[in-house]
Amino acid sequence: MALQWLRSGMRSGVLVAAAVCGAIASASVTAQEPVLQGNPQRGKPLSYTCLGCHGVDGYKNAYPNYSVPELEGQHPEYLAAALKEYRDGDRAHLTMHSQASSLTDQDIADVVAYFAGKPLTPDSKPEGNIPAAAQLCTSCHGANGVGITPQYPTLAGQHPDYIVRALEEYKKGGRKNPVMAGMAATVKDEDMAIIADYFSRQRPSLATESRPYTSFGKESGGK
């Protein structure tokens, strides 16, 4: 992975050096954290409020207006990291901050185990040609938009307006992840929509939460 990534990033030496340092720094932070085993059954009752937004097809965040992200099919490790970032203030979003604030690390592991569902496995060629502006991104987010490690989010089938919003947040500093801050800083504003369009068209794709679907969830909607 690292080699492939380095090769594809070779064209922009400084950026790559900075990003690799960031990647290594965040990798070692991740390594120190205990890996909590998520229990989807315990995650289910925790998910009811969340589904009011994440389980509604086409639901939008108001002011600014953009689609609520798709979670089904996403890497659970990434979802857990994202929730901790909202909780700890490394992502600025008032609603998600208050949603995540009441969750312990174990709650987070459980709720993401419930949401993530079946992982996506890219089995086909990418849809369309990779735009030049998205070349570097594919070394972590995959040519098919499926993140190549559990820490790299899948973008395949994600709402394009949400992808643009996320990139703007990394660029402005509302999201503080150092790797993506470095990446987003290099993306021209006019390329954001092109990149978002490419990843949002990839298949297999993330989906809006559908309930109940889990293997333990054949029951008729009881808690």
- Give me the residue label for tokens 């800083």: 185
12 is a site residue for ligand HEC (CB under 6 A): no
Taking the C-alpha atoms of residue 113 and residue 56, their distance in angstroms, rounded to an integer, is: 19
210 binds ligand HEC (CB under 6 A): no
Residues in 49-68 that interact with ligand HEC by CB under 6 A: 49-50, 52-54, 61, 68
Say how far residue 143 (Cα) sits from the centre of its chain. Answer: 15
Contact status: 87 vs ligand HEC (CB under 6 A): no
**Site membership for ligand HEC, residue 116 (CB under 6 A):** no
Decide if residue 95 touches ligand HEC (CB under 6 A).
Answer: yes
Q: Report the residue from 151, 194, 203, 217 that binds ligand HEC according to the rule CB under 6 A.
A: 151
Q: In the set 167, 198, 200, 209, which binds ligand HEC (CB under 6 A)?
A: 167
Kindly list the residues in this chain that would bind ligand HEC in the complex (CB under 6 A). 19, 23, 49-50, 52-54, 61, 68-69, 71, 79, 81-83, 85, 91, 93, 95-96, 99, 111, 136-137, 139-141, 151-153, 155, 163, 165-167, 175, 177, 179-180, 183, 187, 195
